[in-house]
Amino acid sequence: MTSPRRPSPPVLRLPTVNDGEGLTRRPRILLPSTRVGPLRAVLKRVGIALALLVAVVAAVYVGRDGYRDNAGGPLSLLDCFYYATVSVSTTGYGDITPVTPLARFVNIVFITPVRVLFLIVLVGTTLEVLAERTREDWRKTRWRTRVRDHIVVAGYGTKGRSAIKTLLNTGVDHAEIVVVDPDPRAVADAAEAGFVGIVGDATRSSVLRQAAVQRAREIVVASARDDTAVLITLTARQLNPTAGIQASVRESENVPLLRQSGADHVVTSSEAAGRLLGVSTRHPAVSEVIEDLLEQGSGLDLIERPVHRDEIGKPIKVVAQPALALIRDGAILPYDHKACDMLRFGDRLIVARSSPRRIDPAGDPYAEPDEVDGADGDGDSPAREAVERETDAVDGGERPDRD
């Protein structure tokens, strides 16, 4: 009697990236910048050229007595335009010439430099390309030497964009975020949004080095595939053993792989969405509160802060804002745990706080005018003081220990 065959374990397939000819693509850095349209650039050059021409005409017309026309007679305004045109265009027919020392001096110190500037404007397209390349190389070099303690986001899809939106809502600046994605269009969108973008495969150490991941303080792995997330985490942890790595996967069976690869926290995106759907089916209001908590900076927020000095030695119920959990020695304890009966120095709390909602005042029938504006009459209410106190505590407190 033969025993039934056991199912084979899942195989982790490794992604490969090439340019169609067996050669790996070299990562490119895109820095945020403003683009000027071609029509606007041409009009700008034409305006500069006309301004230089008018300046020469004015200088010649003011000193027209110092010029001699072979046709005879004093210079008219049309003659001044004619002389200015043939001079700045380096044509120089010689029928109108400066004869007095003052007129020749003006030609030396003013008209000749204007002639050079006019030529620069004429060949401005080529010079602009060269200057743009030089400026872009200088910006990249300057960015590489200065960037540190930043956040690297690997993947600029739906998950990556949502993670960045939450980071911005919690006070992170655009300059602190670096996006890595193999899709040039996604990186171009990131650069247009104000982030530094790296075009390349984040599973390669050379690409992550371009993002200065070795000097990053946090790394967010938001790839679309679980096997890619594992490779990105392995590579990032090898380059930066101390940075915090937050990763997402679609299947829960890959969570242990991410943790063994070096991820500090792993979020299961598909199962989290399924659990939220289940909660919404049974308790719609609870689902709305959870979604509100996920939208940082608007409505209800969960924050982590250190225990205040006046709270040490007291139970967790004395905390002004609702406290949901206590973090002690790296362990997360619920608010009803016996350890919460006395808070200690070094403990951290996870509390809920309320922020002004980002809604249309006309769409909220319960919103008061002061609540919509986010201010009281005197601008110094107890609720506002509590929020500012919690924010200062979060910004100034130490980071929690990692598991």
**Domain layout of the chain by residue ranges:** 38-124, 148-271, 297-396
Both tokens assigned to 48: 């500069």
pLDDT per 10-residue tile (average), the chain, 403 residues: 44 40 53 62 80 90 87 85 86 83 89 85 68 75 87 93 89 91 91 90 92 94 92 94 92 90 88 79 83 76 88 89 88 89 90 70 41 40 43 44 40
What does the angle CA 316 – CA 320 – CA 325 come to, to the nearest 5 degrees? 40
What DSSP state is assigned to residue 341? G
Q: What are phi and psi of 221, to 5 degrees?
A: -100, 105
Determine how many CB atoms are found less than 10 A away from the CB of residue 375: 14
The CATH architecture one would assign to domain 297-396 is: 2-Layer Sandwich (3.30)
Residue 385 is predicted with a pLDDT of 47
Torsion on CA atoms 60, 61, 65, 71, rounded to nearest 10: 90
Residue 353 has a pLDDT of 83
pLDDT score for 1? 46
What pLDDT does residue 244 have?
94
- Pair of tokens at residue 21: 């000819």
- Check for a shared fold between 38-124 and 148-271: no
| pLDDT at position 177 | 94
Sheet with 196-199, side-by-side order of all strands: 28-30, 196-199, 177-181, 151-154, 218-221, 244-249, 265-268
Q: Which residues on neighbouring strands pair with residue 334, listed in sequence order?
A: 325
Distance CA 221, CA 159 (A): 9
Q: What is the pLDDT of residue 242?
A: 93
Token reading at 329: 């020695």
Query: For residue 126, is it left (φ>0), alpha (ψ between -120 and 50) or beta?
Result: alpha
Question: Two tokens at 47?
Answer: 């305006």
**What is the rounded CA–CA span in Å between residue 130 and residue 332?**
57
At 17 the pLDDT is 41
Overall size of the chain counted in residues: 403
Q: Residue 20: its pLDDT value, please?
A: 40
| Domain 148-271 -> CATH class | alpha beta
**Domain at 38-124: CATH architecture:** Orthogonal Bundle (1.10)
**Would you say the pTM of this structure is higher than 0.75?**
no
The pair of structure tokens assigned to 15 is 């992604």
Distance CA 213, CA 221 (A): 12
